[in-house]
Structure formats: structure tokens, C-alpha cells
Chain A
């Protein structure tokens, strides 16, 4: 849902009275009202903020957000200069009041649209300065409909209507790496139609929770950067999640959110049913918690699986790890390769080797490997990245590195 609108009001600059509230809904929310259904006390003191609701000309024609007491007022004052008005201008503002702690960002585009629409109506037919009665009911309806249905379509007169809809605003998707693995959270096949982007349609079938982004791009024979964008689109709309390549050499550790798993019955039940191997009995939540807790930096999944063999009976390990990761109960511990020495520094061979490694045209190994070494010498990289780039397993990667110097692996 969207955060609620507490009040909606229309204010103008009156030539002899100054800034004043012409329409307010609910009644009595901004200034005192005689209406029997009015609020006992207004939500805020209009007098103290009137200079920001009806501001000087340089602050007009833009969005103004005001925090007043416990409330936040979002408005878009408009200034129209024209000699037809008594003081050569007309200033009005449609304002929306929210709770101070709420985030009203989805309302910004519609508040701006409302202001611009009424500005045009006023310039063309003096709608605001002439017809005040219909405006009151229109604003009331905007308030009701937006709060209940998140959209409204209200006719103003025979030619004009207010047409607004709230769209949810999500956070921009995180940057994804080539070795990240997307896993679907919805039935994507049901949502597609022939009008979707061709690359998107090509990769949809390949998102299986096992293949990395790079692998998907390779398999689909599609441009990597476009595939990455497609995946990010799917992430934005919560259709896929990103997990790591599952390997038994991976390491995982608990996050502080393990506490949530311990107290959330629904999560425990969901976990138990998700991780159970076909036909196996459901494991108890206590065991699941114990197993999650037993993962740490110093142990790979392979080693851990060996130690916990008894407790892991009837549990699909990959699903177990995936569930923990998606729910943020555990996090992936990456291994970074750091060159500790190329032999004695005084040793000419070692210096040579280092120099050769850092040169572009070096022949330390295959051309691909050279590229890897260039990058490695510039900064630490995770083993995942190396494996993904060269399409080799962790074991092969470690062997490759150790052929060209002494490397230590930092787990973080």
C-alpha cells in the first residue's frame, strides 16, 4: 500500500486578506471550521507556515516540502502573472499532508501534475478564480479515492477531468556481478507476452537458480551487458533474487538476523518444507537453527556437510543454503586471493616474473590468464570472479594461481 494522506487543502493569495485556505478536506484539518463534522483542532498552525504555502515568486513553480510539527506537507505552489488579476498575479497551491515519519515519494509526480493541470486550466478558462464550488467536491473526491483506491478519475466539467494514479517506487537494483546467480520468485513464463524484449525472452528459460549471469549470457548467445540489464529489470520488480553460485567450496556465516529465524514460526515452517528432500520427514526447527548456527568462516560447505552428516539427513543442502541466503540468515564469505610473495625480492627471476606478469604482452600463461593477472595485481579479487571469468572450478583456479607465486586466501 501507500502512506495515507491525512489532509488535502487548496490555498490562494487573496488580494486583501493575504494567504488563505479556500478548501480543506477533511474539514477543520488545517484551519478551524464550523462544519459539524470538523476536526476539533487543526492538525497544524496555518498561520506559522503561510509564508511557505503561499511563498514569494522565486519559490513558486517547484515542489516544496515542509515539515511542520509531526507532519510533512508536500506542495507545488504556482504563480501566474497576468494584468487581469487585481494585483497582476494569481498564486495558488494544492497541498497534501502526511505523517512526518512517512515517505510520501510516490505522491510527488501526482502533486506536480495536479498543480500543472490547474495552472493550465486557470490560464485558459480562469477555472480556479471563477468556479469555486465544484472545486471543493473535486478535492474531496481526490482525497477519498487516492486514500482508498490509490487512483482517481474525477470529472471537473464537460471537458476536463482529474486523472491520477499512484505508482510504487522501488529502490534501484544493486549492481550485479558476472558470477551472481539469479533465481526466480514468480512464475515468469506466465507474465510474458510476445511484446517483451527478445533478449529477455531468450534468457527467461535459463534462469534456474544455478547458472550465473555470465553463463546465462553464454548459453543464450546474447550480449552480456544487455543480459545484465534484463536481470536488473527483473530484480527491480522483485521477480528474481540474486544468490551466489553454489559450490561445496563456498563458505557461509550467520548474520544477526538469525534471531528472526529463531522467533518467527512462519519462517521456520517455510524453511522446513522448502529444504526437505522428496519423501523425507520434515526436520524440526531446532535442528534447522542449530545447523544454520554451525556455519562459520573457517569451514567450507563440504567440510561442514561431512561434520553434520547426521543432522543433515533428509535435507537438500543446496536448498538449505539458498533459503538461508535469501532470508538473509546467512551470508556468503568470499575468498580473496592476495599475492604474498613471488620468491625472494633479490632473486632476479622473481623480479622478472613479476615484471612479466604486469606487462600486457606477457606470456606467463594463456591470454585469458594474463588478463586475470593484470587485474589481480591491481587489487584483490574474489575466487568466484576468477572462476567465472575463466570458467574453471575453484580447485583449478587455486592451482593456476599457485603456479605463479605464493598466494594467501583471505576470507571475508
Chain B
């Protein structure tokens, strides 16, 4: 039985100039943060259809934030905009001079969603956080989140918040979480990945979506001393590397890094996903280990062997 394509509507809302279209172009259109400088303003709603993990389509509604447009979203266009929404991503600009008005707008969105899409998941992004002094960032984030949690409690929506900036990996963390919410069989991905990591005797295994390089899932062992932000940093680094490759008219296919600390292999797992396998240092290999130094090829073979299973998982998620 062929899995039918599933379309998920994501609403991207926020004040004009808050950074919605810039985010969209970085994550989904391979813009660099610097490239986003030359973007113009969004007029009314910009629709993008993005294929994600095979047969899932993300229907992203980038809604312009100018007053005239926002007014119509809540009046003449409200059912068109707020119906069948799976995810609302509301962007707050830390530089905004009318924070209370922004929160009010957010409340209006929640009110419409409670009428038209009561099961929508809400994400709030406290964006352009790089413009806040490092010492004050936590404070700014917390106070915003408090105000927003109070607002959303009224309508009964739980919210997830992230502090983001296009200039670092925080953007990837937020968007990874957002798209993972849309994958119904996340648990299956996780358990299979863990199984794979165990067999490969890997320290860590990470699944990335092919085009956006957003993290889908990860399986880790002994992560006590590892950087908690490593996933989004890896997304950012590899994505930039991919862009450099394509500038030289070459497509990124796979990567192998050997170093004193570990060996890293990044390869296509399926036509929609990359897998990154981190093999530990030789000294910490277990005695019963069957893997010898220089056996990255075995990992490649394992990846090939696992392909079918993960492809099946991709098709399954439509249900």
C-alpha cells in the first residue's frame, strides 16, 4: 500500500521586520545569514511547499506583519488563515518597541486558533537575541516567556519557546524541534536509531533531513562531557559546508573525518536523510569490540543495510 502524501500547515506570524522570511530562507532555501540582508518585505502571504522526509509536505504560510495585512487576517480572512493549522510559529523581535502590542497580537492569534484549529501546536521564538548583551539574554528570554505563558494559559494552549538568532545555531535547534513535532512516528525513528548506534558501537548517531539539515533524531551514549548545543552547531556547519560545495558546482555526498578524539562518518541513509555516526577513540573501545581501527567501511556497509528499514519508517509516518 502506497503511503499518501500528508500536508502540514505551518503558520509563521509576527510583527513586520521581525525576521520571519529571513528564517524561512535560511532553513529552507539555503540562504546564508548575510544573504538575508537583501530580502524585501513579504506582501500578504507567501506560500511555500516544502517536501520533507519523502512524502510529507510542509505547507509554510509566511504571513506579512504590516498592520494592514494583520487586520485582514483577523477579520475577512480569519477562516482562510487559521483553519487546519498544525503549528503556529510566532516570532517576537527583541528590538520591538511595542512589546505589549506584540503580545496582544499573539493573543488574537491564539483566540482564532482556539476557534478554528484547537489542536495546533504553538512555538514562540524570541528572535534576534544576538542583539541583546550576552549577560542579559537569559533575563529577556524568561520575562518574555512568562508574559507569553500567561497569555496562552487563557486559551489552554501549551507553548514551547526558543531564543533564536540567524547568526548562530540556535535557529536550527528551534526549527528541528518544530518539524520533529510533525513526525508522528518519532519514537520509531529513535528506537531504530538507538539500535543502529549500538550495533555500530558508535558513541553517537544523528539523523538529519537532507535539504535543511535539521536534526530529526539522535542516539547517544556517554554524553556527560559533550556540548549540549552540538547538534544545532553541526547542522549549521554542515549546511554551510554543503553550500560551499554547491558553489563549486559539486554536490555534497559523504564525509569522513578522522581525528584523535573520534572518527565521524556522514552519509546518505535514505534519499531524504543523512546519518552521522561518531565512532569513539580506540582506547575506549570495549575489549569485546569487533571493530578495528580503519573499519569505517564496515559502518558504511551497515548504513547500506539499514537503509530499507528507515525508508519504511519514512513511508509509515504518513499514517
Contacts and interface: CB of A to CB of B under 8 A. Distances in A.
Contacts of A175: none
Main secondary structure of the interface of A (DSSP, over half): mixed
B41 A87 contact: yes
A57 interface: yes
Nearest to B68: A18
A88 B40 contact: yes
A379 to B, nearest CB: 56
Contacts of A48: 76
B65 to A, nearest CB: 8
Interface size class of B (residues with CB under 8 A): 10 to 19
A16 B66 CA distance: 5
A14 B17 CA distance: 12
B153 interface: no
Interface string A67-84: 000000000000001010
A54 B40 contact: no
Interface in A112-129: none
B43 A16 contact: no
A28 interface: no
A48 B44 CA distance: 12
Interface in A343-394: none
Contact of A55 (B37, B43, B66): B43
A55 B44 CA distance: 9
A51 to B, nearest CB: 5
Interface in A1-43: 13-20
A199 to B, nearest CB: 55
A88 B39 contact: yes
A257 interface: no
A15 B16 contact: yes
B67 A17 contact: yes
Interface string B41-55: 101100000000000
Given A15-B16, A15-B17, A88-B38, A51 B43 contact: yes
A187 to B, nearest CB: 58
Contact of A81 (B40, B72, B76): B40
A17 to B, nearest CB: 5
Nearest to A56: B43
Contacts of A51: 43-44
Nearest to A19: B68
B64 interface: yes
B40 A89 contact: yes
By size class, the interface of chain A is 20 to 34
Contacts of B66: 13-19
B68 A17 contact: yes
Contacts of B31: none
B74 interface: no
A16 B38 contact: no
Given A15-B17, A16-B16, A57 B40 contact: yes
A50 interface: yes
B23 to A, nearest CB: 16
A83 B40 contact: no
Interface string B8-50: 0000000011000000000000000000011111011000000
A47 interface: yes
Interface in A77-121: 81, 83, 86-89
Interface in B63-95: 64, 66-69, 71-72, 76
A18 B69 contact: yes
Nearest to A50: B68
B72 A47 contact: yes
A20 B68 contact: yes
A16 B69 contact: no
9 contacts: A13-B66, A14-B66, A15-B41, A17-B67, A19-B66, A57-B40, A88-B40, A89-B40, A89-B41
7 nearest A-B residue pairs (beta carbon): A18-B66, A18-B68, A87-B41, A89-B40, A17-B67, A56-B43, A88-B40
Interface of A: 13-20, 47-48, 50-51, 54-57, 81, 83, 86-89
Interface of B: 16-17, 37-41, 43-44, 64, 66-69, 71-72, 76
